[in-house]
Copies of this chain bind each other. A is one copy, B any other.
Amino acid sequence: MNFDLDEQQTALQNTVADCLAQQLDTPRLLAVVNGDDGHDAALWRTLGELGVFGVTVPEAWGGTGLGLLEAALIAEVLGSRAAPGPFLGQVLTALAIAEGGTDAQRERWLPRLARGEAIATLVLGEPAERWQPDEWTLPAADRLAGRKTHVLYPWLADVMLVGTAGGGLMLVANGEGIDVERIPCLDPTRRLGHVTFTGAPAEPLAFDGARLRDAALVLLAADAFGGARRCVDMAVEYALGREQFGTVIGRFQAVKHQLANMATDVEPAQGLYWYAAHAFDAVAEDAARMAALAKAHIAERFLQAARGATEAHGGIGYTWEYPLHVWVKRAVFDRAYLGSPTIHRRRSARLAGWTSAA
């Protein structure tokens, strides 16, 4: 038994972490936060050159052909650094095309997606909280017509992976018959728009929408873990630097215990998202349930850690220029996107057969 990362996985995670530590400093992050687009094209290119977007693309099409675990390891790092942009849809569209696409679809999209030259996004949500595949109502058709909501960066997308009634997926190249309405976003690093299809040409893709949702839940959980741990780290760092009453506040026992409680709430969750990702890749019978549990559990830990870190900072943590608020808002995003924790706990309970009817 070896529930540890191998050298390649560790190296991958470190590479991305080092890159972001160098490139995405606070001024650059705040530039994105304050910008209109919530996107940093130069950073996106750099990440593409590192191979971040090829992680789920087979080698034959220019990727590294790894699994969701590797994508999740990257998502943790992106969460830790509050990296902006449409990563989620990028790697998952590639995953779906790699596993379920025709050779023509693969040829058309995978090499460009792997390099980050084309951008992909997931078009899943529908009005009134219809996030889950069995709730989708958009009719599957050669030409799509209907409304989808809360799409990440639809205005940047070259290709959209669209969930349709019955839980299927279709591919839509950006072009005619697509209206995008941008919405004011709480999380400045993951911008959203609603999408209305008015006859957009669509191709079927043989990949299960529920499995795509599960993968997305795992990546959100990984992002949340990275963010939560970063909140703890920021609070610790602040407590070590901030002086009050003639001593650093990190020496006050009440502060120490609050930080210890925060860290203890967060740290074990690393194992949970690792396993959820591993189960997606290798333990089919656990995949759906662990994805739901991980997203529900870790998103709550993140929001709690973000809240705790803000309180630990006092006033400065409430300002725009000190970037902690970005993580607070990412925590809100990770919690709500694709359904709230109680929704996924309820799903998990159903998947576990927690009913007297069974």
A254 to B259, CA, bound (A): 12
A32 to B254, CA, bound (A): 40
In the complex, A45 has a CB within 8 A of chain B: no
Which residues of the partner chain B approach A254 to less than 8 Å between Cβ atoms? 253-254, 256-257
Instruction: Find the B residue at minimum CB distance from A258.
Output: B257
Instruction: Find the B residue at minimum CB distance from A256.
Output: B254
* Residues of chain A at interface, number, CB under 8 A: 5
A252 to B257, CA, bound (A): 11
A252 to B253, CA, bound (A): 7
Which residues of the partner chain B approach A256 to less than 8 Å between Cβ atoms? 254
Instruction: Find the B residue at minimum CB distance from A255.
Output: B253
Q: List 7 A-B contacts (CB under 8 A).
A: A252-B253, A253-B253, A253-B254, A254-B254, A254-B256, A254-B257, A257-B257
The minimal Cβ–Cβ distance linking A252 to chain B, given in whole angstroms, is 6
A256 to B254, CA, bound (A): 8
A74 to B303, CA, bound (A): 43
Which residues of the partner chain B approach A257 to less than 8 Å between Cβ atoms? 254, 257
Which residues of the partner chain B approach A252 to less than 8 Å between Cβ atoms? 253
Instruction: Find the B residue at minimum CB distance from A251.
Output: B253
A252 to B254, CA, bound (A): 8
A113 to B254, CA, bound (A): 52
Which residues of the partner chain B approach A253 to less than 8 Å between Cβ atoms? 252-254
A153 to B141, CA, bound (A): 73
Chain A residues 240 to 265 lying within 8 A of chain B, measured CB to CB, are 252-254, 256-257
The minimal Cβ–Cβ distance linking A78 to chain B, given in whole angstroms, is 35
A203 to B11, CA, bound (A): 83
The minimal Cβ–Cβ distance linking A264 to chain B, given in whole angstroms, is 14
Chain A residues 5 to 51 lying within 8 A of chain B, measured CB to CB, are none
Chain A residues 262 to 320 lying within 8 A of chain B, measured CB to CB, are none
User: 3 smallest A-B Cβ distances: which pairs?
Assistant: A253-B254, A253-B253, A254-B257
Instruction: Find the B residue at minimum CB distance from A260.
Output: B254
A153 to B23, CA, bound (A): 74
The minimal Cβ–Cβ distance linking A231 to chain B, given in whole angstroms, is 20
The minimal Cβ–Cβ distance linking A187 to chain B, given in whole angstroms, is 31
A256 to B257, CA, bound (A): 12
The minimal Cβ–Cβ distance linking A307 to chain B, given in whole angstroms, is 16
A256 to B256, CA, bound (A): 13
